[in-house]
Amino acid sequence: MTNKIRTLDDLRRIREASTDLTSARSKGRASIIVGMGTCGIAAGAREVMSAALRELEKRNIHDVSLTATGCIGMCEKEPLVDVIVPGMGRITYGLVTPEDMAAIVAEHVVNGHVVERLVIGRAD
């Protein structure tokens, strides 16, 4: 079996590889929140959520929390996505497509640059 632990380093390697198993049980270093009210879902939030997951998986990112939230009242701008990166406030993106979502993960979450063309609101 591949996981045979023969040295202390083996143990630490398995620990490193296993942290991802439980990392979803903590808040994570950043959060992506997708509006999944009836309006959001009708506008395609489900696909946006899947796109976010695929992008995180592709980049092997396990310490970002991805959650759903209800309608926040700006239904015509759905799908709405909030991204919180510590030090950058809470950025709300509107009319997000699955392709936009991939860009948001790459630009905002990974590189720390807000995707200005999609921003519809900011809060601290």
Partner 1 sequence: MPVFRGHILVCGGTGCASSGSQEVQKAFHEELEKRNLDKEILVVQTGCHGMCEMGPIVVIYPEGTFYCRVQASDVTEIVQEHLVKGRPVPRLLYTAPEDASKVPFYKDIPFYGKQRRIALKNCGYINPDNIEEYIARGGYEGFGKALTGMTPAQVIDEVKTSGLRGRGGGGFPTGLKWSFAAKSPGPKKYVICNADEGDPGAFMDRSLIEGDPHSIIEGMMLGAYAIGADEGYIYCRAEYPLAIERLKTAIAQAEDFGLMGTDILGTGFNFTLHIKEGAGAFVCGEETALMGSIEGRRGMPMPRPPFPAVHGLWGKPTNINNVETWANVAQIIVNGGAWYASMGTEKSKGTKVFALTGKVKHTGLVEVPMGITLREIIFDIGGGILNDKKFKAVQIGGPSGGCLTEAHLDLPVSYESLTGAGAIMGSGGMVVMDEDNCMVDVAKFFLEFTQRESCGKCVPCREGTKHMLLLLEKITSGRGTMEDLTTLEQLADMVKEMSLCGLGQTAPNPVLTTLRYFRDEYEAHIRDKRCPSHACTALLRYEIDPDKCKRCGLCAKNCPVNCISGSRQEPYRIDQEKCIRCGTCFQKCPFGAIRKS
Residues forming the site for partner 1 (CB under 8 A): 1, 3-8, 10-12, 14-15, 17-22, 24-28, 31, 33-38, 41, 49-50, 52-53, 56-57, 60-62, 65-70
Nearer to partner 1, 21 or 116 (CB): 21
Nearer to partner 1, 37 or 91 (CB): 37
Tokens coding 117: 């063309």
Place of tokens 């439980």: 22
Q: How far is the CB of 41 from partner 1 (least distance, A)?
A: 7
Nearer to partner 1, 24 or 120 (CB): 24
Q: How far is the CB of 96 from partner 1 (least distance, A)?
A: 15
Q: How far is the CB of 2 from partner 1 (least distance, A)?
A: 10
* Alpha-carbon gap, residue 45 to 87, rounded angstroms: 26
What own/partner pairs with CB < 8 Å and gap ≥ 24 does 41-50 have? 42/78, 43/78, 43/79, 44/79, 44/97, 44/98, 45/78, 45/79, 45/80, 47/98, 48/79, 48/81, 48/96, 48/97, 48/98, 48/100, 48/101, 50/98
Nearer to partner 1, 25 or 117 (CB): 25
Q: How far is the CB of 78 from partner 1 (least distance, A)?
A: 13
